[in-house]
A and B are shown apart, each in its own frame.
Chain A
Amino acid sequence: MRDFSYLRANSVEEALRAAAMPATMLLAGGTTLLDLAKCGVAAPELVVDITHLKGLDAIRVDVDGAFIGALAKMSHVAADTAIQAQYPAVSEALSQAASAQLRNMATIGGNLLQRTRCAYFRDPSTFPACNKRNPGSGCSALEGVNRGHAILGTSVACIATYPGDLAVALVALDAVVHLGERKVAVDDFFLLPGTTPHKEHAMQSGEMITAITIPASVAARHSTYLKVRDRQSYEFAAASAAVGIEFEPDGETIRDIRIGLGGAATKPWRARAVEDALRGKALEPDTVKSASRLAVEGAIAHGGNHYKIELAPRVVERAILKTGAMA
């Protein structure tokens, strides 16, 4: 880690002022920042500690929705009984992420901003080429070891997977990221790599995440998160799905369905084609199976990750059937 100065922010304003300065990074849980600083990916000159700010860790759930302060810890949100009742996919995504210790550290805001686990991205001394780190330098993963890389939302510049779980549930449930006064839908907050993979989200310099809100819905209340991985615990997803369903009064016809796909795309992925194919249909296994295939429409594999084209729809399918059975 290079040397840096440390500033403990006493107010959001102070934090934002500092964050607008070059080579400055905000420190919340530290689980991404310190990890990347040790890898040599992050090299801040000033670290602004926002963990002592008051009032940014609220968790409030009412009839309109959920409000979660940016500094709320993952573990606290996961354990919140109102979140568990009204937004089970959110709670489940959180409690299957990382480990108990990391969930006690990582904040909701920081969790959204976690960066890819691409091994080439994380090893700058061996692999100078990385368009995400060093725009225009190339991508080592395209022709390299890419079992964990994305099949959706990729570009010729970058195939790095967005690794998080929470954001997959949030994108399914139409959550909104609060950047102070400015509000951005989660789906718009995360950017596709395109030709600018170093730009991962819609946050401007001098902004910070202050909260997220999730609108209340029947689909959110009847939601689940399914995560598939090699190891039983403490691992990122090979593929995951967040699904929320609202049925018509007949209890069979799908009125509303929301599907987020994780572990397979360059950003938290909303599987709208699958939703469109199922809205208004009865929840029949065959219908679900064929609709789920649409989750990987346009997917591109790069060798090692080819299995995800088969795996991801199966995870979506199972998550839909599981959610349907609960609703």
Chain B
Amino acid sequence: MTNETILHLDVNGQTQTLTVEPRVTLLDALRDHLELTGTKKGCDQGQCGACTVHVDGERVLSCLTLAAQVEGRKITTIEGLSDAGGDLHPVQEAFLEHDAFQCGYCTPGQIMSAVACIREGHAGSDDEIREYMSGNLCRCGAYPHIVEAVREAAKVMS
């Protein structure tokens, strides 16, 4: 009855094989099928940024991406951000140090977005950070601390 296909996804450097319907989003493939739940579902309609992952190094919303669409692309999630030895990424370190989160639910998306923001060269000033981090909503109100964390992490990474 169902219309399942076999997909091979490159997630955090590993090839993952999964059998899903074509309508399955990358977000649901990660969370429900691969049990990589670090990527969060906040709205499922492209309006909050909690599901941010990297595809070929660029930040995108996994809720508006079909899993089938990203076969052959490199997908990086929060689980793949730390290095192999388990050391935290400088952005993760900075988030902890600056208390850039409270409930933690938007946090993986914020961190993935922040890593890309710095890499894109959009962390040049506090105002630029604010604008380029505005696709990630935080209801706990950690924004000023997120700005601090991105600013400090950008220094470390440069």
Q: Is the CB of B21 within 8 A of A3?
A: yes
| Chain B hits for A51, CB < 8 A | 69
Distance in angstroms from A315 CB to nearest chain B CB is 20
Distance in angstroms from A306 CB to nearest chain B CB is 27
Once the chains are docked, how many angstroms separate the CA of A232 from the CA of B135? 11
- Residues from 66 to 99 in A contacting B, C-beta threshold 8 Å: 75, 98-99
Which residue of the partner chain, among B5, B60, B134, contacts A234 with CB atoms under 8 Å? B134
Size bracket of the B interface:
35 or more
Q: Is the CB of B68 within 8 A of A6?
A: yes
Once the chains are docked, how many angstroms separate the CA of A105 from the CA of B132? 15
Instruction: Determine the residue in chain B with the shortest Cβ distance to A234.
Output: B134
| Chain B hits for A52, CB < 8 A | 72
| Chain B hits for A125, CB < 8 A | none
Q: Is the CB of B66 within 8 A of A5?
A: no
Q: Is the CB of B22 within 8 A of A4?
A: yes
Q: Is the interface of B mostly helix, strand, loop or mixed?
A: mixed
Please give the number of chain A residues whose Cβ is less than 8 angstroms from any Cβ of chain B in the complex: 31
| Chain B hits for A37, CB < 8 A | 23
Q: A100-B132, A101-B59 are in contact. Are A49 and B68 (CB under 8 A)?
A: yes
| Chain A hits for B3, CB < 8 A | 3-5
| Chain B hits for A102, CB < 8 A | 46, 61, 64, 135
Q: Is A30 part of the contact surface with B, judged by Cβ < 8 Å?
A: yes
Q: Is B49 part of the contact surface with A, judged by Cβ < 8 Å?
A: yes
Q: Is B58 part of the contact surface with A, judged by Cβ < 8 Å?
A: yes
Q: Is A58 part of the contact surface with B, judged by Cβ < 8 Å?
A: no
Q: Is the CB of A105 within 8 A of B61?
A: yes
Q: Is A53 part of the contact surface with B, judged by Cβ < 8 Å?
A: no
Distance in angstroms from B71 CB to nearest chain A CB is 8
Q: Mark A15-40, 1 if CB is under 8 A from B, else 0.
A: 00000000000010111001101110
| Chain B hits for A202, CB < 8 A | none
Q: Is the CB of B66 within 8 A of A30?
A: yes
Q: Is the CB of A100 within 8 A of B122?
A: yes
Q: Mark A276-297, 1 if CB is under 8 A from B, else 0.
A: 0000000000000000000000
Which residue of the partner chain, among A4, A6, A30, A232, contacts B65 with CB atoms under 8 Å? A30
Q: Is B113 part of the contact surface with A, judged by Cβ < 8 Å?
A: yes
- Residues from 3 to 59 in B contacting A, C-beta threshold 8 Å: 3, 5, 21-23, 25, 44-46, 49, 52, 58-59
Q: A4-B23, A232-B134 are in contact. Are A101 and B49 (CB under 8 A)?
A: yes
Q: Is the interface of A mostly helix, strand, loop or mixed?
A: mixed
Q: Is the CB of B2 within 8 A of A233?
A: no
Distance in angstroms from A31 CB to nearest chain B CB is 5
| Chain B hits for A1, CB < 8 A | 23
Q: Is B117 part of the contact surface with A, judged by Cβ < 8 Å?
A: yes
Q: Is the CB of B69 within 8 A of A98?
A: no
Q: Is the CB of A104 within 8 A of B59?
A: yes
Report which residue of B21, B60, B122, B134 has the largest number of chain A beta carbons within 10 angstroms of its beta carbon: B60
**11 contacts across the A-B interface (CB closer than 8 A):** A6-B22, A34-B65, A34-B66, A35-B46, A38-B44, A99-B134, A99-B135, A100-B116, A100-B117, A102-B64, A105-B65
Identify the B interface with A (CB < 8 A): 2-3, 5, 21-23, 25, 44-46, 49, 52, 58-61, 63-66, 68-69, 72, 113, 116-117, 120, 122, 130-132, 134-137
Given contacts A47-B22, A100-B117, A234-B134, 15 further A-B contacts (CB under 8 A): A1-B23, A3-B2, A3-B3, A4-B23, A5-B22, A37-B23, A100-B59, A100-B113, A100-B135, A101-B61, A102-B46, A104-B60, A105-B60, A105-B64, A233-B130
Identify the A interface with B (CB < 8 A): 1-6, 8, 27, 29-31, 34-35, 37-39, 47, 49, 51-52, 75, 98-102, 104-105, 232-234
